[in-house]
Every structure is written in structure tokens, then in C-alpha cells.
Amino acid sequence: MGYAVRVYEAFKDDEVKAKVLAEFIEKVEEAINNNQVATRQDLGLQELKLIKEIKDVELRLTKEIEQVRADLTKEIEQVRAELRLEIEKVRVEMHQIKVSILKWLIGLLFAQTITIIGVIVGLFQALR
């Protein structure tokens, strides 16, 4: 039994007051029920909005992650290219150093050979 009927029963001695109070209670109960329904609807709408926002955020994050990956891949390729150039420079320098060492060794060997020949010639002359 609703509150409106209870109030009517309690004040039925004064029928005018009982009707007014019963109508008032009915209006209050109706307003409360309408608020609850609106709240449920609001919750449903809010849930749909949140789901949409989550999907939008997921989509945006996915795009941002893909962009970061693309940028990172580009940077990695750039670093690789720079490293290849540096490695090639080092190889050229190493080749130049090897050539320089070979020239120096050939010069040293040539000088030693001339020195040995000079010593041998000197010994032959001293022996005569």
C-alpha cells in the first residue's frame, strides 16, 4: 500500500485534508519515480558516452603509437645510415694507415739493405 493511501486512511475523518495530503504524497512519489527513471536513463546515456570516449581515446592512442613507431623507425634508419658512413670512413682511414705503414717498412727495409751492402763493401775493402 502506497504512502498516499496510508495518509488518506489516517486523515479520513477530515476528507478534504485527507485528499489534499494524499494527492501531495502521490505527486511526491511520482516525482521521485520520475527522477529515478531519468537517473537510469542518464546512466545509460552516460555509459554510452563513456564507451564512445574510450573508443575515441583508443583510436587516438593507436594512431599516436603508429606515428611514434614510424618516427622511431625513421630515426633508426637514419642512425644506421650515419653509422655506415662512419664505418666506411674508418675503413678508408685504416687502408691509408696500412699503406703508410707499408711505405715506411719498405723504406726501412731499403735503408737496411743499403746499410748491409755498405757494411759488406766496407769489409771487402778492409780485407784487401
pLDDT tens digits along 45-86: 889 999 999 999 999 999 999 999 999 999 999 999 999 999
Beta-carbon contacts of 19 under 8 Å, excluding residues fewer than 6 positions away, are 8
Neighbours of 11 (CB within 10 A): 16
What's the whole-model pTM score?
Answer: 0.49
Question: In the chain, how many domains are there?
Answer: 1
DSSP calls for 21-32: HHHHHHHHHHHH
d(CA 25, CA 15): 15
Domain range for residue 53?
A: 3-127
pLDDT, the chain, mean: 89
CA separation for the pair 112, 118 (Å, rounded): 10
Q: Do 18 and 7 meet the contact criterion of CB atoms below 8 Å apart?
A: yes
